[in-house]
Amino acid sequence: MKLGVFAVLYGEKTLESALDLVQKAGLQTVEIGTGGYVGKAHISPSEVLRDAGKIADLKRMVEQRGLSISALSCHGNPLHPNAAIAAEHHEDFQNTVRLAEALGVETVITFSGCPGDSDTSQSPSWVTCPWPPDFLQVLDWQWSQKTIPYWREQSAFCRQHGVRVAIEAHPGFVVYNTETALRLRQETGDNIGVNFDPSHLFWQGMDPEECIKKLGKSIYHVHAKDTRIDARNTSLNGVLDVKPYSNELERSWIFRTIGYGNDMNVWKGIISTLRKVGYDGAISIEHEDSLMSTDEGFKKAADFLKGIIIGEQAGEMWWA
């Protein structure tokens, strides 16, 4: 395994400055944002693809710091019922795939997307319960008419470019847990797998270790981000929470730097179980902790993970 970071946490800096910080922290890989909902993406695939020199510059920028690119990430909603948003996110995705091929990067990360409840919708509609019966009718339509056809086409497109897709299971989209991730893979292609992010599983009451065992070889990439459950707020209101992430005192849960939601034993179990199923890719730090600055969260996450994974910088093998 190699330890890395999702570079959008330093989206306000130039990519070169962000890469300097990754190198200084002693990490080995970088995940680069390319569009969608990721905020300040460091590169625009459409712009880079128009200039072979920019592609070469990007490769050199990463390699001269002793780093590698673990993935390109364009977390968007290509199934959005608003046609303009869907087209933008679809274009971001396909251009990211083309750029990944040009860079020799194997993995592109995104969301599955979420359609509306019909062809006349303007906003996504996430179905979370089976009754009243309208909900299951919507869910069946979303999968059969939108999700499966779209991702079958993208599976074929990615295969042509030698790239695989890692779908991040995230509430609000049709793929949000283990069974929906595996359903998408089964229905659309074995080059569509998972970006495994435990933070979205913790607050849903899922056990990451058991999820890893079930997902197995479909795990293509891993995010290192934690979640802290507030026992009192959850006991009062459950885990479905629409309050702003900045309202930390009243929320049922918030995202945390790893180690501040679950202790080292939990994360040792996650890393070890990834090893058991044969995962030997990147562990990519993602920072969305509203209680810590970017620098503080990044440093603490890196130090925490180094306490679990022995790094190549020590001249040794990686193991949990």
305 — pLDDT class (breaks 50, 70, 90) = very high
**276 vs 52: CA distance, rounded Å:** 40
Q: Is 287 left (phi over 0), alpha (psi -120 to 50) or beta?
A: beta
How far apart, in Å, are the Cα atoms of 128 and each of 135, 145, 238?
8, 19, 14
- As given in the structure block, the two tokens for residue 212 are 């890893």
- The whole-angstrom separation of Cα 156 and Cα 190 is 10
Give DSSP secondary structure letters for 139-188.
Answer: HHHIIIIIIHHHHHHHHHHHHHTT-EEEEEP-TTSS--SHHHHHHHHHHH
**Confidence bin at 310 (pLDDT 50/70/90):** low
Q: Is the separation of the CB atoms in 98 and 166 below 8 Å? A: no
Concatenated DSSP letters for 199-240? Answer: HHHHTTT--HHHHHHHHGGGEEEEEE-EEEE-HHHHHHH-S-
pLDDT at 38: 78
Sign of CA dihedral 138, 187, 221, 262: positive
pLDDT of residue 314 exceeding 80, the answer is no
Residue with the two structure tokens 């180690």: 259
> Looking at the predicted structure, is the pLDDT value of residue 157 above 80?
yes
Residue 73 CA to residue 78 CA, distance in Å, equals: 14
pLDDT score of 94: 98
User: Model confidence over 248-301: pLDDT tens digits?
Assistant: 999 999 999 999 999 999 999 999 999 999 999 999 999 999 999 999 999 999
DSSP-based three-state secondary structure for 272? helix
* pLDDT cut 70: percent of the chain above it: 96
pLDDT category at 318 given cuts 50, 70, 90 is very low
Asked whether 293 and 12 are in contact (CB, 8 A), the reply is: no
Mind listing the pLDDT tens digit for each residue in 78-135? 999 999 999 999 999 999 999 999 999 999 999 999 999 999 999 999 999 999 999 9
Q: Give the pLDDT of residue 311.
A: 41
> Cα(224)–Cα(304) distance, rounded to whole angstroms?
11
- Tens of pLDDT, residues 220-258: 999 999 999 999 999 999 999 999 999 999 999 999 999
Cα 260 from Cα 45, distance rounded (Å): 35
- The Cα 1–Cα 319 span in angstroms is 7
- Residues 293, 258: contact at Cβ < 8 Å? no
- Please report the domains of the chain, with CATH numbers, ordered by start residue: 2-314 (3.20.20.150)
For the stretch 21-76, pLDDT in tens is 999 999 999 999 999 997 678 999 999 999 999 999 999 999 999 999 999 999 99
The pLDDT of residue 66: 98
Alpha carbons 28 and 7: distance in angstroms, whole number = 12
Residue 317: per-residue pLDDT: 42
What are the tokens at 2? 């190699």
What's the pTM value of the predicted model, to 2 decimals? 0.95
